[in-house]
Amino acid sequence: MLRVEISQRRWAAPASETRKRLPPSRWRPSRLMMLIGVVLSALLAHASPATDADLDAMKARLSSTRPGDKPHLCVQIAQKQLAEADKHYTASEMEQAQTALTEVVAYSELARDYSVQSNKAQKQTEIAVRSMARKLTAILHSLGHDEQAPVKDAIDRLERVRSDLLMSMFKKGSK
């Protein structure tokens, strides 16, 4: 009985005794440190979007990437180009937006080709292309009638990419 009481005391020390033994910096973080942590995490979360150097590096890395990883890399490039196109459309820079839009479609088609060729990442590629098509539809609704034609064409081509991926995944007579 005596042993039980001693062991319980050792493990169940009151909080006031624990705090007395620890230095104040260990048990109560300062508000400044918390503020610095919040600011740093906010900065990291809202890091600047991909620059041209990042995109160029990704494009250069595409040739040396394994065939199974190429669809994912192409999708990443297409998504970054879509973000750039959205920024250009927002800033009414139509020529640069159409250039970025062309690359979105080109890299989406490359992703489809690599995905079907390697028979990997077809589902993820289709999901990513579907979300890019939705984003383009949102951009389409924000444009004037004269500026909608290239975006409609891009949406149609992305839908064809999706259709091809779905046909590849669900072939007739595969049962």
Give the residue-averaged pLDDT of 8-13. 54
Q: What is the pLDDT of residues 60-80, one digit of tens each?
A: 898 898 988 999 999 999 999
Residue 32 pLDDT level (bands cut at 50, 70, 90):
low
Q: What is the mean pLDDT of the chain?
A: 82
pLDDT at 83 over 60: yes
For residue 27, the model assigns a pLDDT of 47
Helix %, strand %, coil % of the chain (to 5):
80, 0, 20
For residue 10, CA distances in Å to 31, 60, 78 come to 32, 62, 61
